[in-house]
Amino acid sequence: MNDDSENIRVGDSERSRALDELSTHFANGLIDINEFEERTGKAAIAKTRGDIRKLFLDLPRLDGTDPVAGEPHPNAPAPIRAETRAQEELDEVLTRGKKVQRFDGLIFAVAMILFFLGLFVFDWDYFWIVFPLAGVAAWGVRSVANFSDEDEEIFDELNESEEKERAERLRRAAERRRELGK
């Protein structure tokens, strides 16, 4: 970027877009409440493009084009590396759990469709068999994904915790937007 573009003045629409993006970063847990309040305050009074760009220098782009390394520095203290490994394991359980959850939704949606088709359209005598087959398919997905009962319990706890935290961050972001009048 050339220095001239940094000095171009911004209006309410640019400030509002910056506030929206900061709200998204906050809701996704990339910045804490103190950083969010500080940055939104600066965004609300930004005068130039440079003022707004400074708020996002250390944040990834929302479109995913700015990769963020998920590994700790090799010279980091051992507790930090261990904590990072533990977090990576939890993230991996969360990822596998979301995939299993999507497959479950698909399996049981197909089962319901087949159930009603068998019952009302094709007049099958054994239309009920789709439910045990759906259960076997769901078990198969868990076996292929190596998703144990313990993993499922951890996933449920993580997912519930993540949803509560996100809801709280969204609530705080909305309050902050109202405070700033944007």
Contact 173, 36 (CB under 8 A): yes
Contact 91, 155 (CB under 8 A): no
Residue 73 pLDDT: 40
Residue 134 pLDDT: 96
136: Cβ–Cβ under 8 A, 6 or more apart, which residues? Answer: none
**DSSP 8-class letter at 28:** T
Q: How far is CA 22 from the centre of its chain?
A: 15
Count CB atoms within 10 A of the CB of residue 25.
21
Average pLDDT of the chain is: 83
Distance (Å) of CA 124 to CA 121, 127, 135: 8, 5, 20
Interatomic CA distance for residues 101 and 107, integer angstroms: 10
Segment 49-57 shows an average pLDDT of 89
User: Could you tell me what percent of the chain has a pLDDT over 90?
Assistant: 35
**Predicted confidence (pLDDT) per residue in 148-172, tens digit:** 999 999 999 988 988 998 899 889 8
Kindly tell me if the per-residue pLDDT of 24 is higher than 90: no
Kindly tell me if the per-residue pLDDT of 2 is higher than 60: no
Segment 129-150 shows an average pLDDT of 94
Residue 3 pLDDT: 62
The model's pTM is 0.53
Count CB atoms within 10 A of the CB of residue 108.
17
Kindly tell me if the per-residue pLDDT of 119 is higher than 60: yes
Interatomic CA distance for residues 23 and 33, integer angstroms: 10
Residue 65 pLDDT: 38
Query: How far separated are the first and last CA of the chain, in Å rounded?
Result: 28
Interatomic CA distance for residues 51 and 130, integer angstroms: 60
- Max Cα-Cα span within the chain: 76
128: Cβ–Cβ under 8 A, 6 or more apart, which residues? Answer: 115
* Token pair in block for residue 6: 């940094």
Kindly tell me if the per-residue pLDDT of 10 is higher than 60: yes
**Predicted confidence (pLDDT) per residue in 67-77, tens digit:** 223 344 444 44
Contact 47, 39 (CB under 8 A): no
Kindly tell me if the per-residue pLDDT of 85 is higher than 80: no
